[in-house]
Amino acid sequence: MTVKLILVDDHNLFVEGLHTILNDQIGIEVMASAANGLELLDLMEIHRPNIILTDIRMPRMDGIAIAKLFKKQYPKTHIIALSMFDQDDDVFDMLEAGAKGYVVKNAERDELLRAIHEVHKGKYYLSPKFEGIYQRWLEKDKIAEPKLTRRERQILRLISRGKTSQQISEELKLSRFTIDTHRKNIHKKLGTKSNLALAKQAYKILGMD
């Protein structure tokens, strides 16, 4: 079965070179290319690719946003990140967002082809240097998630959006004392001490859509 893919990257020369390399491969068809996620969405009205090969950091709509959106709206189209960034956080964030692959841009051609075919089969593929990150990502769900009440989750979401206790009090029509008590309980359950730490936990626990 032919792998149909779309390239998403804001560097034209890189895209042109990649387009040539991939179209020379039997069993792979590059259907189109886009400079960012918004252009990609327009292309999705025309094409139905199996794979999106995307950079991470782009203007307007980046790779992480693409992966999150496709996980919900186009679950049969798999995302592979192709990036110059090789930091742990970048890889973890893409996996969390829904990507099935992560390859660095200086990888050999054969590795990229292997990633495309493995992901097309429904498997994950990450460059070998990311094996440890992948294992940690797999293990994350085995860690017991703190149980928050419905109200605590509601307040956590508002805190992560930068709302003060007073603003939350007014929005939920609860006393400031009640909000502060919930805030303390949330900190205790999540083991956090700052609002920034809470925001990071909110992203993991609530999905923060």
Domain spans, the chain: 3-141, 150-206
Q: Tokens for 190?
A: 């999540």
Residue 121 has pLDDT above 80, yes or no: yes
- pLDDT tens per residue across span 29-74: 999 999 999 999 999 999 999 999 999 999 889 999 999 999 999 9
109-145 CB burial, b ≥16 within 10 A, e <16: eeebbebbbbbbeeebbbbeebeebbeebeeeeeeee
CATH architecture, domain 3-141: 3-Layer(aba) Sandwich (3.40)
- pLDDT tens per residue across span 10-21: 999 999 999 999
Residue 144 has pLDDT above 80, yes or no: no
**Crossing angle (nearest 10°) for helices 88-97 and 131-139:** 50
Residue 209 has pLDDT above 70, yes or no: no
Closest CA to 4 of 52, 61, 63: 52
Question: What's the average model confidence in pLDDT over 80-107?
Answer: 91
- Looking at residue 72, its pLDDT comes to 92
- Looking at residue 137, its pLDDT comes to 81
Residue 84 has pLDDT above 50, yes or no: yes
Whole-Å CA distances, 105 to 19, 84, 99, 166: 14, 5, 16, 47
Percentage of the chain beyond pLDDT 90 is 62
CATH code linked to domain 150-206: 1.10.10.10
